[in-house]
Amino acid sequence: MGLNGMPRALITGVTGQDGAYLSKLLLDKGYEVFGLLRRSSSSDVLDERLRWLGILGRVRMMDGNLIDLSSLIRILNEVRPDEVYNLGAQSFVKTSWNQPLLTGQVTALGANNLLEAVRLVAPGARFYQASSSEMYGLIQEPVQSEKTPFYPRSPYAVAKLYAHWMTVNYRESFGLHASSGILFNHESPLRGIEFVTRKVTDGAARIKLGLAKELQMGNLDAKRDWGHARDYVEAMWLMLQQEKPDDYVVATGRTVTVRDMVRIAFEHVGLNYEEFVKVDEAFLRPAEVDVLLGDPSKAKEKLGWAPTTTLEEMIREMVEADLFRHRARMR
């Protein structure tokens, strides 16, 4: 709690998509928001995200890095947060095969560093771990819930699984109020350009405006359960408001192929995707997660959470945002 009685939150990964939406949610709820900012962060991207949400200048940035335990201890000592959200990660699955050790250091051991710092410095703080549906990987169940066994298929997913179980372990061993959200894919106009939805909405916008002729893509047959980041950060916050820490699946309960998502985006700008989308092997992965479909019943029942945005609405919002960005640059 700050001197003025406002609750305090510390967010790692504040420069990312979810960090921006979560900052907005917490600021709107009257929190003081602190963000972990690593030296190499691109402040332009962060500024664009925060400006987009109307909160530029309202998050206090703290100089640190998840792989430097000393920085986390110093920051927790300074901030004394009531809530800690660990969203920082090497989060791009494809890169994790090229940089498996870095992915492990940040995504797995970084989470452990933060748990350890919380245990030592702020054991009363509530902790959120950004776990992922990628942990299911080669699933054997058609719909994935909190009870579905994990089978990670990428260095990223293996790292997330370590962080997930360490969160459970710190809860059970040390009594930390530590919760994991097993979040399925969630997107927005603030999604990083390397992820498939944003790549597609940006590509459709460019082609529509005559800035590009085609779009190179990978596996169009993969299926994902896509929701909106604005809805999903609400679930993170709700988890930390519960008396008892726990793990929750956050998903929409609907799965769609990449191809259908592409079709929705191109149709919105009046184009037939088949004329513009080309498959390029460079975008295929060494191992694929073919299909993900989450069962959010527990989050609905215990948190009162439900998604509010359909895939179609979200993709249209993203295409419009990309058209707006490109038109502004063309002026």
Nearer to ligand NDP, 89 or 176 (CB): 89
Question: What is the enclosing helix (H) or strand (E) of 215?
Answer: strand 215-217
Nearest CA to 144 out of 158, 129, 134 is that of 134
Q: Is 300 helix (H, G, I), strand (E, B) or coil?
A: helix
In the beta sheet, which residues pair with residue 130? Answer: 181
Question: Which one of 19-27, 126-134, 263-271, 314-322 is the stretch in contact with ligand GDR (CB under 6 A)?
Answer: 126-134
Query: Per CB under 6 A, does 91 bind ligand NDP?
Result: yes
82 binds, among ligand GDR, ligand NDP, none (CB under 5 to 8 A by kind): none
Q: Is 291 helix (H, G, I), strand (E, B) or coil?
A: strand
Nearer to ligand NDP, 41 or 242 (CB): 41
Q: Is 325 helix (H, G, I), strand (E, B) or coil?
A: helix
- Total site size for ligand GDR, rule CB under 6 A: 20
Least CB distance to ligand NDP at residue 234 (A): 14
Nearest CA to 85 out of 191, 178, 190, 189 is that of 178
Please list every residue from 193 through 252 that binds ligand GDR, using CB under 6 A.
194-196, 199, 217-219, 222, 224
Nearer to ligand GDR, 185 or 255 (CB): 185
Positive or negative, the Cα torsion across 72, 171, 82, 239?
Answer: positive
In the beta sheet, which residues pair with residue 35? Answer: 11, 61
Q: Which of 10, 18, 179, 266 binds ligand NDP (CB under 6 A)?
A: 18
Q: Which of 12, 129, 133, 309 binds ligand GDR (CB under 6 A)?
A: 133
Contact at 8 Å (CB) between 7 and 125?
Answer: no
41 binds, among ligand GDR, ligand NDP, none (CB under 5 to 8 A by kind): ligand NDP
Catalytic, out of 32, 83, 134, 234: 134
Cα separation, 65 vs 45, whole angstroms: 18
Query: Per CB under 6 A, does 89 bind ligand NDP?
Result: yes
Query: Per CB under 6 A, does 263 bind ligand GDR?
Result: no
Cα separation, 51 vs 245, whole angstroms: 33
CA 233 to chain centroid: 9
Please list every residue from 241 through 300 that binds ligand NDP, using CB under 6 A.
none
Catalytic, out of 85, 128, 156, 248: 156
Cα separation, 44 vs 235, whole angstroms: 28
E strands of 109-212, at which residues? 126-132, 177-183, 186-187
Nearer to ligand GDR, 223 or 300 (CB): 223
Question: Which residues contact ligand GDR by CB under 6 A?
Answer: 91, 93, 132-134, 184-185, 194-196, 199, 217-219, 222, 224, 258, 283, 285, 288
Where do contacts with ligand NDP occur on this chain (CB under 6 A)? 12-19, 36, 38, 40-41, 65-67, 87-91, 106, 110, 130, 132, 183, 185-186, 192
Active-site residue set:
132, 134, 156
